[in-house]
Amino acid sequence: MHSTSPKHELRKLARSRRAAISPKQRLDAALALIRHARSGRMLRPGRKIAAYVPHGSEFPVWPLVLKALQAGCRIYLPVVPASGRRLAFCRFDQHTVWRSGAYGIPEPHHPETCAARDLDLVLVPLLAFDAQLYRMGQGGGYYDTTFAFRRQRRHWRKPRLVGVGFECQRFEHLPTDHWDMRLDAILTEAGWQYPDSLIRP
């Protein structure tokens, strides 16, 4: 008999919750995210923001991405490497071209890239999150690996890591491993969640 890990069971539950969200709820949530991003002063001209290409039932960030472009932000999208787990970040603008990428997700290509350390803010996709701002992803470890360098810093923690998801993806407590990434904030259709009142995106 094979035992099933707590993370595996939670991923199944989180996927089912996310998949049950109706198209109207998804659209309403995407528009609410824009309002919250504005109230949190996230969309500042010249800011380097990494987003993601939504896949399956992931939170639809495209409306927020387009609003960020209008606000003068520089948007970058992740590119999964052929080997290893460190993501590259490619510029998204009118010159971006698309190709078939890993896991069936369209992959952007652009002459301009940005190192993970040089980003100002990263919108991180997730399957689940908890009150301590721990994130559960798909299990590939790409974000944990790419931003592991932040653990070596005591004060300056650029880029800020903001998890993006639906309120139904909130859990009281997630099982964690030592390599799991803790986020700086969570942004859902209900608003911002911070570890304390002093941290802002």
Question: For 117-134, what is each residue's pLDDT tens digit?
Answer: 999 999 999 999 999 999
Q: Tell me if 130 is assigned to some domain.
A: yes
| 68: phi then psi, degrees, rounded to nearest 5 | -65, -40
B/e letters for 53-66, b = 16+ CB within 10 Å, e = fewer, are bbeebbbbbeebbe
pTM over 0.85: yes
* Residue 166 belongs to domain with CATH number: 3.40.50.10420
% of residues, the chain, pLDDT over 90: 78
Q: What is the pLDDT of residue 197?
A: 42
Examine the pLDDT at 199 and tell me if it is beyond 50: no
> What burial class does residue 108 get, using C-beta atoms within 10 Å of its C-beta: 0-12 exposed, 13-18 middle, 19+ buried?
buried
CA-closest candidate to residue 15, choices 54, 57, 55, 53: 57
Q: Tell me if 19 is assigned to some domain.
A: yes
CB 130 within 8 A of CB 172: yes
Number of compact structural domains in the chain: 1
Kindly state the helix (H) or strand (E) to which residue 24 belongs, with its residue range. Answer: helix 23-39
